[in-house]
Chains A and B, each alone.
Chain A
Amino acid sequence: MTALPTIPLHLLALLPVTVAAFGFFLPRRAFQLLGLLTTAVVAFFALALFVEVRWGAEVVELLAGWEDRIAIKLVADGLSAPLVLLTALFMLGTFLFSTRASYMDNTFLFLIMLLETAIIAAFLSGDIFNIYVLFELGMLTIAILIMYKKDKQSVYDGIFYLMMNFIAMAFMLLGIGYLYRTTGVLDLFALHTRIGELSDPRSVVVPYAFIMTAVALKAALMPLFGWLPRAHGAPSAPSIVSAILSGVQVKFGVYLLVRIQWVFSPAIDAAPFFAVVGFVTAVVGFLLAIAQKDIKLILAYHTVSQVGLIVLGLNLGPEVAYWGGLMHIVNHALFKGLLFLTAGIIIEEYGTRYYNEIRGVFRRMPIVGIAALAGVLGITGAPFFNGSISKYFIQRGMQGNLGELGMFIINFGTLLSFVKYSTILFGKPSTDAPADRDPFVGGVSLTFGLACLAGGIFGGAAIALLFGQEYSIAGAYDAEKIIAFVATLVLGVLSYRFIVERIGDFLESVRTYRFNFNQVTMFLSAFFVSLLAYAYITV
């Protein structure tokens, strides 16, 4: 089916940065319009690409006319095409959201469009060295975006982020070198075949550990997530940066986790290791989220928790949990993007970032409040919202009491921290007069909110449409599921009221404790050694 016109993959990837390079010299207003137009065009072509891949065949492009396995390859298949579409639509939404924002100057627009190129090109890339280069490009761009307003705290956040990722990239480069030495190819698909042909699967254990350590850091797994809250919750970055980082950029690490595991699957299967790491990440993420006071940091730590849940689902084993994990990538992008965008508006309106100083968002900004509530319901997995569907799929993959208990702990923790977050919505605001807002702000927020609701009501259709998998979602609407959610909610409110509010001192000490750079490097080395040991023992 080729009803929509398609363009070559490299043009799709290069379009934003090419336009940005020329637009940089235009007047600001013209550049803003040009940027908006470009993201719309990219979104259209991403949609066309998705349609072609989903109902046709996967699209492969070999650059510079070399033959397969030698050329640098771009691939859009059933895994990457939906994620490219998600990225493109998400960028379009954020651009609409901030068309008239004061921070949209030429440098900022250029960086955002460069980041869009880096993310889309990385999803499409079928060559491991290319992925390394695009990682570095994204890393530099993000480092500048984090410290965009150049205040004191953000300089520290920026250098911490940059140094951690630089170390991880050195790990990855050494791993790629080792892999090239062993197999002689860099193409992901050729690597998959060559690794299957190796006489001794142990010879790829070391490169596997090197590369996966870097990928795990990018995906912000326990204990390597230290950079994520600093980057995503950075006080000086505009909220659309946080939304893009949490919504799509961190998903690239998760995507690569799936891809690289597949590449090494003939030799190494570390799925149980990553399932455990994912579970621990999910738990630690929400525990730290409860301790935060800054609403953007609550959301940032929640990204850690949800990424852990996604990685858990992807590595559990059963098909249904795997697709649930992929679906949760999309759903998380929707509700976390929405929450960050609305949080940005709320912070701007109230002039503070602390949850205990913000009250009555519903009264002061009804539209933003309703949109934020939709996001909260989505992330907590309330019935009829999208989070409930993907969490239900992941849960179906967990057999036995232990898995169910783990899932309950994660659900309960998510609810508990969002009870804390939701306190900003209720109550009486100090003043009722909101500042004038761009209509796009409310419009985009509501669209994201409606998408969360639609993703829940038509959850089965969504997973069938995006990934071509047919699963019944009837079980997600059982009376017992709804009762379980309400019971968890009541339990969450009660524990918040009677436990969390009374251990403020303890939470304060958790909140202010920081690891220094050397300790974080230690965590990285420890993760590397344990992954190496696990892979070596199980192979």
Chain B
Amino acid sequence: MALIRMLDVSHLTVLLFFVGLYGALTQRNIIKTVISVGVMDIAAISFFMLANYPDDGKPPIAGTPVEMMADPVPQALMITAIVIGVSVTAMCLAMAMRVAYRYDTSDWDILIWRNR
């Protein structure tokens, strides 16, 4: 129980990152690897969002007293990172679709064989 109390949300995001990495290491289906890497990306973004977050921080928008604000820099940066993550995932999925059409499979191992 002491261990569980020590954990906070940012530890969970690191755990989620490695869950995603596990997926990328083990899944042979392209769509599943895209999902896994997407999970890694989201985990990294959540981790970044929680950087320097005070215990009862408020969103850094107009009207919030300065001393209660959460650090605004990560929030601003992560909007960019989320947009990038969405577009790269979309691009990966579009290419996965093309691969599936051309090769008639979405398994990394079979793809190697069909490429020889």
CB distance from A211 to the nearest CB of B (A): 12
B95, A136: Cβ atoms closer than 8 Å: no
B44 within 8 A of A: yes
- Interface pair A159/B44, CB less than 8 Å apart: no
State A178–B45 Cα separation when bound (angstroms). 11
Give the bracket for the number of chain A residues in contact with chain B: 35 or more
Known: A133-B80, A136-B88, A514-B112. A163 touches B37 (CB 8 A): yes
Secondary structure of the B side of the interface? helix
Residues of B within 8 A of A517 (CB): 24, 33, 108
A185 to B5, CA, bound (A): 29
Contact flags (1/0) for A76-107 with B, using CB distance below 8 Å? 00000000000000000000000000000000
Q: B97 CB to closest chain A CB, in angstroms? A: 10
> In the bound complex, do residue B30 and residue A174 qualify as a contact, i.e. CB atoms below 8 Å apart?
no
| Chain B CB within 8 A of A494 CB | no
Q: Which residues does chain B contribute within 8 Å of A147, judged by CB atoms?
A: 95
| Chain A residue contacts of B4, Cβ below 8 A | none
Q: Is the CB of B88 within 8 A of A162?
A: yes
Q: List B contacts of A170 (CB < 8 A).
A: 17, 20, 37, 40-41, 43-44
Q: Of residues 129 to 157 in A, which have CB atoms within 8 Å of B's CB atoms? A: 129, 132-133, 136, 139-140, 143, 147, 150, 152-153, 155-156
The smallest beta-carbon distance between B70 and chain A, in angstroms, is: 13
> In the complex, how many angstroms separate the beta carbon of A169 from the nearest chain B beta carbon?
8
B51 close to A163 (CB less than 8 A) = no
B19 is an interface residue with CB less than 8 A from chain A = no
Interface presence of A502 (CB below 8 A): no
Tell yes or no: A184 within 8 A of B by CB: yes
A174's partner among B44, B92, B103 (CB-CB below 8 A) is B44
- A167-B37, A177-B47 given; A516·B99 CB < 8 A: no
Is residue B109 contacting chain A, with contact meaning CB distance below 8 A?
A: yes
Question: Do A159 and B24 touch across chains, with their CB atoms under 8 A apart?
Answer: no
Give the chain B neighbours of A132 by CB distance below 8 A.
81
Whole-angstrom CA separation of A37 from B25 in the bound complex:
47
Question: Can you report 28 A-B residue pairs in the complex whose CB atoms are below 8 A from each other?
Answer: A133-B84, A147-B95, A155-B99, A155-B103, A156-B115, A159-B99, A162-B91, A163-B92, A166-B41, A166-B88, A166-B92, A167-B21, A169-B41, A170-B43, A173-B81, A176-B48, A177-B51, A180-B73, A180-B74, A181-B51, A184-B52, A186-B73, A514-B115, A516-B112, A518-B25, A518-B28, A518-B33, A521-B24
Task: Tell whether A174 pairs with B88 under 8 Å between CB atoms, given A155-B99, A167-B37, A180-B73.
Answer: no
Interface residues of B in 25-81 (CB under 8 A from A): 25-28, 30, 33-34, 37, 40-41, 43-45, 47-48, 51-52, 73-74, 77, 80-81
Query: Does B37 contact A166, Cβ atoms closer than 8 Å?
Result: yes
Q: Apart from A166-B37, A173-B44, A180-B52, what are 18 other A-B pairs with CB-CB below 8 Å?
A: A150-B98, A156-B115, A159-B98, A162-B88, A162-B92, A167-B37, A169-B41, A173-B45, A174-B43, A180-B48, A186-B73, A514-B115, A516-B112, A517-B24, A518-B27, A518-B33, A522-B25, A525-B25
Is A308 in the interface zone, CB < 8 Å from B? Answer: no
Interface string of A170-196 (1 = CB under 8 A from B): 110110111011001010000000000
Interface residues on B, range: 35 or more
Interface of A with B (CB < 8 Å)? 129, 132-133, 136, 139-140, 143, 147, 150, 152-153, 155-156, 158-159, 162-163, 166-167, 169-171, 173-174, 176-178, 180-181, 184, 186, 512, 514, 516-518, 521-522, 525
Which 5 A/B pairs are nearest by Cβ-Cβ distance? A177-B48, A174-B44, A173-B44, A181-B51, A170-B40
Bound CA–CA A517/B30 (angstroms)? 9
A433 to chain B, nearest CB (A): 35
Contacts of B88 in A (CB 8 A): 136, 139-140, 162, 166, 169
